[in-house]
Structure 1
Amino acid sequence: MSECLADFFNRLPREAKLSFVQKMFVPSICANEWRSNISDVTTVHMKTQYQIPNGRLDIVILLDNQPTFVIENKVGAPIGKHSNNIDQLRVYGDWLKQTADRSGQRLAVLCLLTHITSPPETFKEDERDLYGSIPKVVRWSQMAAEVQAIARKGRLPLDIRTIAREFHLFLLEQNMTTEFARFEDFAAAIVYVKSGSRISHTFEKIYDHLSELGGPFVKGFSKDDAIVDFDSEGSVIHGWKYLSAAPLKSAYFAYGINLQPRRSLSIDSLPDEDSIFLAVGVETKKEMQLLESKSKDLGEDWHYLSFADYSLIVTFKPLHAALGRPEEFASTMIAWIDQSCAAVVAKLIQSLQKQYGV
């Protein structure tokens, strides 16, 4: 999505670029400063995956080769945390402020371009001190409306208007033109009400099988377990069962469906396609460190993912293959657990237990 936006933006004439930036990314509190400075700007360019010492920025807008706007793109994904538990928006805003100070530039804007993802409560235009740069929230629905308006501007070249129409159509197909429920969403919700009990029954079969595996998989239901849980923001349908693996205190096994993991989790190494997954997670700082150290021994099929409050190792398979016979979904997941995962999990847990007291 970021690349599509940059490709479209960089084709615009200079004046159209400046107008686009002003409408989309310039906070109201620095509008006068923006207008007073743009007359001297000769080049405007948007870059994606911009590498900095402590991360990689989704989008950067450079005015005369100087980073001026940092844009973090979040589509139904959480705001990431760095190792010191500071969210990535603050890290990126501080970097932009330092870069602007070195060049003598006064304007430095940190933008959250979002669809569904809610900005932090403190992410407001008057919180420059907290984020280093001036915060600005832009929604993809606003972006879609502006792209559509550009497509209708007769003064722009035909090729630009054609690309704008194609880009808007793409956003429409990706359900990015509004964050509110449409007719299709209500229809899907009504279908879910009718099918939810069958989904729950299917996932219950998987959960019951875990309870019979023995070892760290204890019999019965714990109050902290979930047979099935629907997480719309994370694009996940999943369940989990906590493991009995003293001295480990927070280990659990998770299973389910993740729609477009790469996009929903904003991690490039994950699959683009809708997937089924199996995972082992932990929630304490010590166990997170242990899991990270042991994850390197599991092979390329396993991914280590770290978040603020938990970390996990996870493996994926394409969802379409698992739904070839949808009525056998539970059996497919169970076979995967038995054939490829249960032994790996047992060995991993034993290794974590041994290392816990070291």
Structure 2
Amino acid sequence: MKKKLLSVVMTVALVASLFAGCGSSKTGDTQATTSDSTSETTESADKPGEGKTVGFVTFGLGGDFFQMLADEFVTVFEEAGYDAQYADGEFNPTTQIEACENFIAMGVDVLFCWSVAPESMDGIVTECQEKGIKFVAFVAPTSEYDALMVSDDAELADYACKLAAKWIDEKYADADDHSVPVVVLSCRTADTGVIQADELDKIEEFSTKAKFVKEVECQDETVDDGMKATENLFATDDSTKVILTAHSNIATGANNYLTGLSSPVQDYSDMAIFAINGDNAMAELIKTSINDECPLRGMVMTGSVNDTASEMLYVCNGILDGSLEEGHIQKAGTLFVYSDTVDEYLESGTVKSVTNADFD
């Protein structure tokens, strides 16, 4: 990249020097040539990925969020001039390794990988280093990397607790302290799920009114798992008022059960579900909760898919042109999607009116 930019600068300088000594009869030609060169320079700056290839091995494509991110990754990178492709990691370390090896064989310039099992990726990282491919660990840190894009899992869960606490303490302002029953639906099959479940279990530290009742562990993080867990929960005890989960699909499943025909609940005005990460479909449900049509009240997210893909582009450009140091760590921001911000999110794909500072 540095060589390309240097070449463009030298070309522009050479053109300028050649026409500086020409007579006035060449003025028109000089203006045209300078304009063309400026256009080429601008185009080069707008297309930093021209001639370069980048690959993204996803965690998996089992939900709308994952697919939307993969598609947005391709869109954003292609607009910047890159040849961009992604591969479905299928939530499987072996599949991910094979996908990485395919990208390495293709000779990509940069490889992003959202590892299911980061400890299994050492061989891939070594192979990338040997072949001059920049390796970016996405979300899940590997032992080595050229750059790491990560969100603080515990911090994100804490913000989910703070968002839930805001609703609980406002809705139940007159209730006795620590009297509002809260249940956490977890899935501890991955490190992130373990970390975030542990934080969500601490809801009483964030809310004066919340009472942590128990954690219900799901076998997987699917919509069906969320539905079954909620059905079983309410079959034995229908006193739960708030459900917290680190998984968008589980949150959707819980909401689907509670609003379904077999649900024992008809009035959602005193109930809430809060989740970590999600998509537009969840945002639409959150919007209906303003009128108490469903209990899904809010979610915290590590940026919109466009925000995330744009940050991936920033990191990619930076490690290729040297503006980011080796081992650079890029931390994700947080979006708060709830009654006050859901319209903004649905209209723009992001939230800027409320930030971390509003909950700190």
TM-score range, shorter chain: under 0.3
> So what's the TM-score if we normalise by structure 1?
0.28
Larger fraction in helix:
2
The higher relative CO (CA closer than 8 Å, separation ≥ 6) is in 2
In our comparison, the structure showing a higher alpha carbon Rg is 2
TM-score in terms of structure 2 length: 0.27
Whose strand fraction is larger, Structure 1's or Structure 2's?
Answer: 1
